[in-house]
Amino acid sequence: MDTEAQDPVIRALSRLVPGAVAGRHLSRESGRRLGWVETGRAEPAVILVSGAGEVGLDWAVILPALAERTRVVAYDRAGLGASDPVARLTLDSQVRDLVALLDHVGPAVLVGHSWGGLLAELAALARPDRTRGVVLVDAFHEDTTTEVPLALRVSSNLVLNALPLLKAIGLFNRIAVNMGGELARRCTDDPGTQDLVTAAYLASYGTYGQVATIRAENRLANSCAREVRAARAASAVPDVPMRILTSTRGKPAALHQRSRELADRTAALFPRGVHHAVPDSGHYIHKDQPKAVVDAVFAVVAEADRRAP
């Protein structure tokens, strides 16, 4: 039996993307597997790095457009989707996995959303020779947490702490069906393909460990500030094309303002950094305003191609 053809994520993406979609994996320490899906052919590769607790499937809305003009890699971090868990989940373990993937498929443009944006930035600092460009999509910055209202922090923690329990008692799938269904509706109007995307989303969180990793990654984001600052201080910023996109709705006003200030600061660190606020977009810009993200990626790819030796 063709096991790849039976993989629900590959089945769903194959209905969305005109070209072939393949599953790949990289062996890491102790033989654990780091898995991803890959489609498209042109170089440089584009590596998509999802937000905290999210899987590669989260990029399904823009994957077809990106695959038309470049080779796209959408991976699952350790403990999520097609990737085995790591013995100890840390910021360093997540950056090292992304760097290993970059070494394997690169040189590449790194595209990261939210927590994935921070990981993409740190991987670019670690491997400037393998990084062709960077696109940060409403990226997490360690200094934003001070502006998150206490009530929002408390409610978020309550939800995150409840997720593994909901999985254990069989109620998590109700949440996943709604989230997967919303993703599916943003991808296509075809009911059959929508069903496949929803099923793929459910399969990506099929185990208790995968759901527990959602909580673990979000906790990591809330405790990494000192480690991130040390990594920034120890590294030189690569001279590569860079775009950072920020949302314009869905957050408290003070948090929006702080996010814009930090995005300006991050863009200024890169010699070719540009910050754009995307009109009428929430935190998931690649779903609310997918063309803005696709255009930013292609702009970075084109600039990287012009400067290639």
Q: What is the model's pLDDT at position 43?
A: 86
Average pLDDT, the chain: 91
Q: What is the C-alpha separation between 247 and 98, in angstroms, rounded?
A: 25
Beta strands in 81-205 (DSSP E): 108-113, 131-137
% of the chain surpassing 70 pLDDT = 94
207 has pLDDT over 90? yes
Higher pLDDT, 159 or 287: 287
Which DSSP helix (H) or strand (E) runs through 253?
Answer: helix 253-269
**Span 117-160, pLDDT tens digits:** 999 999 999 999 999 999 999 999 988 766 666 666 666 777 77
pLDDT value at 2 more than 60: no
pLDDT at 221: 85
- CA dihedral (16, 59, 110, 36) positive or negative: negative
Which amino acid type is present at position 51?
G
pLDDT for 250: 84
Q: Which class is domain 3-307?
A: alpha beta
Residue 230 has pLDDT above 60, yes or no: yes
**Nearest one of 93, 84, 81 to 26, comparing CA atoms:** 84
Residue 146 has a pLDDT of: 62
**The predicted structure's pLDDT at residue 289:** 97
Please say whether the dihedral angle defined by the alpha carbons of residues 214, 254, 118 and 50, taken in this order, is positive or negative. Answer: positive
pTM, two decimals, is 0.94
User: Going by C-beta distance under 8 Å and a sequence separation of 6 or more, which residues neighbour residue 151?
Assistant: none
Task: In whole angstroms, give the CA distance from residue 167 to residue 160.
Answer: 12
The pLDDT assigned to 106 comes to: 82
pLDDT higher than threshold 60 for residue 1: no
53's tokens: 């607790």
pLDDT in tens, 3-50: 555 899 999 999 999 889 999 999 999 899 999 999 998 889 999 999
